[in-house]
């Protein structure tokens, strides 16, 4: 079974660790999922104990695992956004729609999307060591310089043409998913024509609540960069991000937060 991830973006400073943890606890309790047997940064814990642990250490973000889930929360200040990510190692027992519904009532909700973890990882892998460490060859892939001065300069994999790539933008992520949810801030941030999206005959468009547009381009997560699937991703990106910003390598001070 493929591992899937739901990734959610909010305006910067609007999703605290406390609010994210409260939401996790509400959803899991609704489905009778035990709140124990978790790990916080690989240390055993229970869900109710996480917030006090964060407060004691001064942390405002978390990487939490347990009961078949991984929850990642944090901020990327230079791009003015907060993020929350859920990964399910098995077929999600709690639907992605239900998780998203808990966050979309927040007017600071920008966007959310679902990806196949494996596909997302390799479409965005720029370090050749990521390939060699797993026995994969990257000699067939285009390379360029990371743009840093000597002695930090080195060759990295060129991903700017990958259909499944994602890139930080100011307040949002330029990315496409087979299923996406778009909040009110998304349209102003991206310059996207909401009527064009609503009228695209190749998309299934709905409104789970009045402030959120849900789009579905395919029945399941994208897993191929070639052929019809690749063409669909390119077409969707052009529709959702009409203002094409030149691809820039991620600034060195940012963590690879959403992979």
pLDDT of residue 87: 94
Evaluate if residue 248 carries a pLDDT over 70: no
Mean pLDDT for the chain overall: 90
Q: What is the pLDDT of residue 245?
A: 64
Residues 77-90 have pLDDT tens digits of 999 999 999 998 76
Q: What angle, 0 to 180 degrees and rounded to 10, lies between the N-to-C axes of helices 17-30 and 96-104?
A: 140
Is the pLDDT at 148 greater than 50? The verdict is yes
Cα distances from 109 to residues 31, 82, 167, 186, in angstroms, run: 24, 10, 18, 9
According to the model, what pLDDT value does residue 2 have?
67
The torsion angle over the Cα atoms of residues 114, 30, 110 and 245, rounded to 10 degrees, is -20
How far is the C-alpha of 83 from the C-alpha of 258, rounded, in Å? 8
Whole-number pLDDT of residue 91: 62
Place of tokens 């709905």: 206
Which one has a higher pLDDT value, 193 or 138?
193
Where residue 142 falls among pLDDT bands split at 50, 70, 90?
confident
Dihedral through CA 19, CA 25, CA 26, CA 27, nearest 10?
110
Which is higher by pLDDT, 243 or 246? Answer: 243
Q: What is the mean pLDDT of residues 66-73?
A: 95
pTM: 0.91
Each residue of 43-56: pLDDT tens digit?
Answer: 999 999 999 999 99
The two beta strands, 204-209 and 212-216, are antiparallel
């Amino acid at each position: 079974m493929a591992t899937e991830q739901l990734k959610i973006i909010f305006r910067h400073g609007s999703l605290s660790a406390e609010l994210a943890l409260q939401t996790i606890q509400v959803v899991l309790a609704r489905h009778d999922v035990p709140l124990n047997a978790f790990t916080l940064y690989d240390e055993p814990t229970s869900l109710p104990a996480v917030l006090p642990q964060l407060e004691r250490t001064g942390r405002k973000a978390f990487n939490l695992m347990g009961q078949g889930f991984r929850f990642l929360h944090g901020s990327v200040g230079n791009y003015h956004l907060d993020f929350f990510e859920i990964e399910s190692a098995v077929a999600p027992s709690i639907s992605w729609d239900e998780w998203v519904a808990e966050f979309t009532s927040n007017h600071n909700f920008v966007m959310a999307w679902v990806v196949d973890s494996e596909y997302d990882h390799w479409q965005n892998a720029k370090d050749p060591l990521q390939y060699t460490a797993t026995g994969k060859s990257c000699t067939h892939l285009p390379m360029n310089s990371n743009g840093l001065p000597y002695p930090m300069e080195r060759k990295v994999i060129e991903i700017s043409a990958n259909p499944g790539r994602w890139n930080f933008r100011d307040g949002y992520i330029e990315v496409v998913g087979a299923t996406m949810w778009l909040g009110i801030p998304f349209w102003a941030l991206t310059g996207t024509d909401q009527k064009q999206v609503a009228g695209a005959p190749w998309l299934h468009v709905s409104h789970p609540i009045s402030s959120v547009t849900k789009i579905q381009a395919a029945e399941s997560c994208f897993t191929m960069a070639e052929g019809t699937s690749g063409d669909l991703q390119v077409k969707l990106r052009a529709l959702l991000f009409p203002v094409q910003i030149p691809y820039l390598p991620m600034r060195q001070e940012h963590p690879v937060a959403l992979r």
